[in-house]
């Protein structure tokens, strides 16, 4: 990936951090974008210690001015953009059925997971097109592919990401831009560990991952696979990485 320039949102920690480290280890220049400035800096420092190329960006995917400024910084640093990973997002313990979930929580999920993906694509895709094409990888979820009780806000947001991925795959194929998504089940991040400890619903869900929970590194490997040249004929794909959760009862 030595000729690639990749921006990864939410890459200060978790899946995004692992994807940034892996892409950089394969030669890509990486823009580490995170709302947590210190976390972005820490990931950048780790890449630098391994002789990789990276810049850190304080980046709020729900704020269009922040998004535009971040992409401008990438062009200023590296001159081009060939890949975008829309990883920032997440659910919360305030989620629930539409009859109970707070309206503010529903709006939060849509803003962070769906509008954030939209804004990054809005400003990133023209740059990828100007570079002659490349890859967009969105972070969907298994919940966006199937009905799940008690998670209506997050399910709606990630279902939107799934549909947007497919629509953009058609829209931008002529520009040689591939748009795919990863749809994980539960992933064993620090955040998920907290959910497992506090929420019986999450505990029951984890038990249905027949092969256990993947870690952030396994998801990162799939992200980098979709960014790389071996997937140049893949677009519009939604790839579940769910330990068998999608086929279990």
Which positions are catalytic?
A: 154
Q: 81: which 2 tokens?
A: 């953009």
Please state, in angstroms and rounded to a whole number, the distance separating the CA atoms of residues 206 and 191: 14
Could you give the CA distance from residue 113 to residue 92 in angstroms, rounded to a whole number? 12
Residue 99 main-chain phi, psi, to 5 deg = -75, -10
Give the N- to C-terminal CA distance of the chain in Å, as an integer: 40
Which DSSP string do the residues of 56-111 spell out, in sequence order? EEE--TT-HHHHHHHHHHHHHHHS---EEEE------TT---TTTS-HHHHHHHII
Q: Decide: 36 and 210 in contact? Cβ < 8 Å.
A: no
């Amino acid at each position: 990936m030595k000729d690639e320039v990749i921006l990864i949102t939410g890459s200060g920690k978790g899946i995004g951090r692992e994807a940034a480290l892996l892409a950089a280890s394969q030669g890509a220049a990486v823009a580490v974008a995170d709302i947590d400035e210190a976390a972005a800096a820490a990931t950048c420092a780790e890449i630098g210690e391994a002789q990789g190329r990276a810049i850190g960006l304080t980046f709020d995917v729900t704020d269009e001015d922040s998004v535009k400024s971040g992409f401008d910084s990438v062009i200023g640093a590296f001159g081009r953009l060939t890949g975008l990973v829309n990883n920032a997002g997440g659910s919360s313990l305030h989620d629930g059925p539409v009859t109970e979930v707070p309206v503010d929580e529903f709006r939060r999920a849509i803003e962070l997971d769906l509008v954030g993906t939209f804004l990054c694509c809005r400003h990133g895709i023209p740059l990828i097109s100007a570079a002659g094409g490349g890859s967009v990888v969105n972070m969907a979820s298994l919940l966006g592919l199937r009905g799940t009780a008690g998670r209506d806000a997050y399910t709606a947001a990630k279902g939107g990401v799934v549909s947007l991925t497919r629509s953009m795959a058609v829209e931008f194929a002529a520009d040689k831009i591939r748009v795919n998504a990863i749809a994980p089940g539960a992933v064993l991040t620090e955040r998920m560990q907290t959910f497992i400890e506090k929420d019986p619903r999450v505990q029951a869900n984890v038990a249905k991952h027949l092969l256990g929970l993947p870690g952030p590194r396994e998801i990162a490997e799939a992200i980098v696979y979709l960014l790389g040249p071996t997937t140049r004929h893949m677009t519009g794909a939604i790839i579940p990485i769910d330990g068998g959760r999608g086929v279990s009862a």
